[in-house]
Amino acid sequence: MLNFFGRNQSRDVAKNRLRNVLAHDRADTSPEFMEHLREDVMRIVSEYVEVGGQGVDLHLQSVEDHVALVANIPVKQLRRRGRSGNN
Amino acid sequence: MGEVIVITSGKGGVGKTTTTANLGVALAQLGLKTCLVDADIGLRNLDVVLGLENRIVYDLVDVVEGFCRLRQALIRDKRLEGLSLLPAAQTKDKTSVTPEQMRGVTEELRAEFDYVLVDSPAGIEQGFKNAIAGADHALIVATPEVASVRDADRIIGLLEAAEIPPARLIVNRLRPGMVRKGDMMSVDDIVDILAIDLIGVVPEDEQIVVTTNRGEPAALSQGSRAGEAYRAVARRIRGEEVPFAEFGEPAGLFGRLRRMFGQA
């Protein structure tokens, strides 16, 4: 919400900054969290693509005013039909 | 068998000791035998907030080192039947007590009291580990500020790791006027971010300064908004359903107009 002078209310700024900092804090203080997330993402992704190499990179990144979950997964080739195809 | 509750926050200066003192008073007023334990060894404070600083003979470290029996170290509050304090040592440091010893002390106390409230030191080191060692539950005190809420989140994670059941939140020093103007996070904002249950909202209240000056916790007498809020928390600890007072959720133009004309 904007105030009279068109600035963001400091309450909203505080909330947003907290969400961002806590995303990083929670990921940093619990290494298993990112590991489990990586395993689950890879399990689903491999139903659709054949993953090439070992260089799977998954991390949180602050982008302007929000946090992004960034994945870089090298693809060898797409599977023909995806989940149900099993090929 | 009584219940052991640790009062903690991570960040210092958010009102842990004031909260512990007032909840102790409010629980004792409900007729519940309550013992307050100051786990902040080396920085003893709960005694002065309660106004019991002149009556200390033995302390927590004397008990664990076997210089006295637990009963001898307890100070009974003469103003209020059922309220006792186990003071911290002022001249020792946090390593003088181990989590196992702390658990032993709280186990002994829970046989005598309905509630044992442990006032945790700030931080996440040894003193904090001691304070949570014997606890069945935790209350987290947080003020509506970024640093306090961040530290509270870290503490919630550590309590989970220690397998203490989900902590409940006390939002302290809320300024409803600032929340209405959009200059302070609301209770809902904080609950939303921390994702834990709320057990109390204590408004900022100058009476806390005055009553702490005198060593007479606000909850001892009527007429303080913060004291009133602490009494509500005490009843919720006991398991009563007590409705939360409304504090400063933005009410939109209509609400503002109503307030302007004195109808809200």
- Residue B157, chain A, CB below 8 Å: the answer is yes
CB pairs under 8 A between A and B: 42
- Residue B149, chain A, CB below 8 Å: the answer is yes
Minimal-distance CA residue of chain A relative to B252: A1
CA of A14 vs chain B CAs: smallest distance (Å): 6
d(CA B66, CA B55): 20
- DSSP annotation of A79: -
Interface confidence, given as ipTM, is 0.83
- The separation between CA B191 and the C-alpha centre of its own chain, rounded to angstroms, equals 18
Residues of B in contact with A9 (CB under 8 A): 181-183
CATH number 3.40.50.300 is the correct assignment for the domain at B3-262: yes
From chain B residues 164-183, the ones with a CB under 8 A of any chain A CB are 179, 181-183
Mutate to test the interface with A, among B143, B149, B178, B249 (most CBs of A within 10 A): B149
For the record, the structure tokens of B40 come out as 């902040």
Which of helix, strand or coil describes residue A67?
Answer: strand
| Residues lower than pLDDT 50 in chain B | 262-264
For the record, the structure tokens of B222 come out as 């009527």
Minimal-distance CA residue of chain B relative to A17: B146
Q: State whether B183 and A22 contact (CB < 8 Å).
A: no
Q: CA torsion angle for B246, B29, B58, B164 (degrees, to 10)? A: -50
Beta-ladder partners of B168: B139, B197
- The separation between CA B253 and the C-alpha centre of its own chain, rounded to angstroms, equals 36
Mutate to test the interface with A, among B11, B143, B148, B150 (most CBs of A within 10 A): B150
Residues of B in contact with A29 (CB under 8 A): 154, 157
Summarize pLDDT for A22-73 with one digit per residue, the tens. Answer: 999 998 888 788 889 988 998 999 899 998 877 688 888 888 778 899 999 9
Q: Are strands B115-119 and A49-51 parallel, antiparallel or unpaired?
A: unpaired
CA of B185 vs chain A CAs: smallest distance (Å): 5
- Residue A68, chain B, CB below 8 Å: the answer is no
CA of A71 vs chain B CAs: smallest distance (Å): 25
Q: What Rg, from alpha-carbon coordinates, does chain A have?
A: 19
Residues of B in contact with A25 (CB under 8 A): 150, 153-154
CA of A18 vs chain B CAs: smallest distance (Å): 6
Q: State whether A22 and B193 contact (CB < 8 Å).
A: yes
CA of A11 vs chain B CAs: smallest distance (Å): 5
Q: Output the DSSP codes for chain B.
A: --EEEEEE-SSSSSSHHHHHHHHHHHHHHTT--EEEEE--TTS--HHHHHT-GGG--S-HHHHHTTSS-HHHH-EE-TTSTTEEEEPPPSSS-GGGS-HHHHHHHHHHHHTT-SEEEEEPPSSSSHHHHHHHHT-SEEEEEE-SSHHHHHHHHHHHHHHHHTT----EEEEEEE-HHHHHTTSS--HHHHHHHH--EEEEEEE--HHHHHHHHHT--GGGSSS-HHHHHHHHHHHHHTT---PPPP-----HHHHHHHHHTT--
Q: State whether B189 and A11 contact (CB < 8 Å).
A: yes
From chain B residues 198-257, the ones with a CB under 8 A of any chain A CB are none
Q: Return the pLDDT at A87.
A: 46
Q: State whether B179 and A17 contact (CB < 8 Å).
A: no
Which of helix, strand or coil describes residue A46?
Answer: coil
Q: Return the pLDDT at B261.
A: 54
